[in-house]
Structure 1
Amino acid sequence: MPLLLLLPMLVLAILGLWAVLLPISLIQRYRFGRKRRRVVAWANSANAWLMLISVAAFFLSGWMATRWLPDALVMAAMGFAVGIALGILNLLISHREVEAGSVFITPNAVLVLGMTLLVASRILLGFWQLYEHGFQLHPIQREEAWFLRPDSLFALGGLLLGHYFAWCWGLRSMLRRLLPR
């Protein structure tokens, strides 16, 4: 009998640890997201090219999800477009420095805070929806705001992916201008 209790206790312990560490991880995400950092050209170039694979996989999963969530691909595309706009905006308003042949960049703290709060609010919204609906496969259909629908997760994912996509490719082109070979 005690062995049967071990698995539920382990699951509860992992959930408790996650609940304690989540706020800390969000605070750390904000702290590290707004720090000045050196841009390593080869690493940024590798990130930019690998982002193409991530974007392709994201839109493929959005297309596959349209079987169950009819607006998943549309939400993914809209979120991606907004994310690209935010990434370009972040590049334009970020502080750039060139020192001794290296480029340093400091992302805009307000934009980093906004994106961190967006992720935190979506996590809280998910918990609220879990409390409200439980694990119902087909909750009662009613008119809801777009951000309350399950396919809105594709919009948030597209926003974050689009932001980083624009950020990587924008940094890549900025480095080519600032550091001639």
Structure 2
Amino acid sequence: MPLLIALPLGVLVFVAIVLLLLPLSLWQRVRSGGARRQAWPWLVTLNFWATLASTLGFALFATIASAWWPAAWLYAVIGWLAGVLLGVLGHALTRFESGPQALFYTPSTWLVALLTLMIAVWLVAGLVQGWQASVNGVPWPASGWLSHAGLLAMAAVLLGYALMYAALLRRKVRHHLRYRGFDRSPR
């Protein structure tokens, strides 16, 4: 009997923690997302390759998902291309400060806030759709932004943005190092 009481209580505590920490983490992301930071070359390169690997994994998932979700691949490609354009815009709006041995950059705060809002909408829409489908038996929409493919497209926007921003930042860091005479690669 105590286990039957503890299990729902544990679930409620978990849900309460998630409901409290999720808005706090999103707010912290907006606050720190527009902060000035140093572009460490090894970290920028690691971020680029990790984002590229994530993009390839996502493309594989979208390919498999297209067998069950109509137009999933098309939505993912369109979302990814929109994210790439956002990455170019984000890089153009980033302020760079070149020091003698380091490059500093400050991303656009309003773009970080916009992407964070998109993440929040994506999470809430997925939770609401999941709740509606599991509790009320309402089927998921077959098309539109609330469909599986639409939510996949929103994730693709974020991945496309991250990949393009990382690629352009890596290029900027490499140019900075070459210009400052720190390039160790053979010519």
Asked if TM exceeds 0.5, the reply is yes
The alpha-carbon distance between structure 1 residues 171 and 127, as it changes in their structure 2 partners (threshold 3 A), is same
Aligned-residue identity in percent:
32
How far is the alpha carbon of 1:40 from its aligned partner?
Answer: 0.5
How far is the alpha carbon of 1:32 from its aligned partner?
Answer: 1.0
Compute the TM-score of the two structures, normalised by the length of structure 2.
0.88
Partner of residue 119, structure 1: 119
SS in 2 for 1:26: helix
Q: Which runs of 5+ in 1 are unaligned?
A: none
How far is the alpha carbon of 1:65 from its aligned partner?
Answer: 0.7
Q: Matched residues in 2 for 1:69 and 1:62: separation?
A: 9
Partner of residue 104, structure 2: 104
Compute the TM-score of the two structures, normalised by the length of structure 1.
0.90
Partner of residue 24, structure 2: 24
How far is the alpha carbon of 1:134 from its aligned partner?
Answer: 4.1
How far is the alpha carbon of 1:128 from its aligned partner?
Answer: 3.7
What amino acid is aligned across from residue 118 of structure 1 in structure 2? Answer: M
Q: Which runs of 5+ in 2 are unaligned?
A: none
Q: Which deviates more from structure 2 when the two are superposed, residues 160-169 or residues 121-130?
A: 121-130
The alpha-carbon distance between structure 1 residues 46 and 108, as it changes in their structure 2 partners (threshold 3 A), is same
Partner of residue 175, structure 2: 177
Aligned ranges 1:3-152 → 2 under 5 Å: 3-130=3-130, 132-135=132-135, 139=139, 146-152=144-150
How far is the alpha carbon of 1:93 from its aligned partner?
Answer: 1.2
How far is the alpha carbon of 1:109 from its aligned partner?
Answer: 1.0
Count of aligned pairs:
179
Q: Matched residues in 2 for 1:7 and 1:43: separation?
A: 42
Q: Which deviates more from structure 2 when the two are superposed, residues 9-18 or residues 133-142?
A: 133-142
How far is the alpha carbon of 1:41 from its aligned partner?
Answer: 0.4
Superposition CA RMSD, Å: 1.9
2:48, 2:163 within 8 Å by CA — same for their partners in 1? yes
The alpha-carbon distance between structure 1 residues 14 and 136, as it changes in their structure 2 partners (threshold 3 A), is same
- Deviation track 1:124-180 (CA, whole Å, cap 9, x = no partner) reads 3234434544446772867x6x21212112111111111110011101111121221
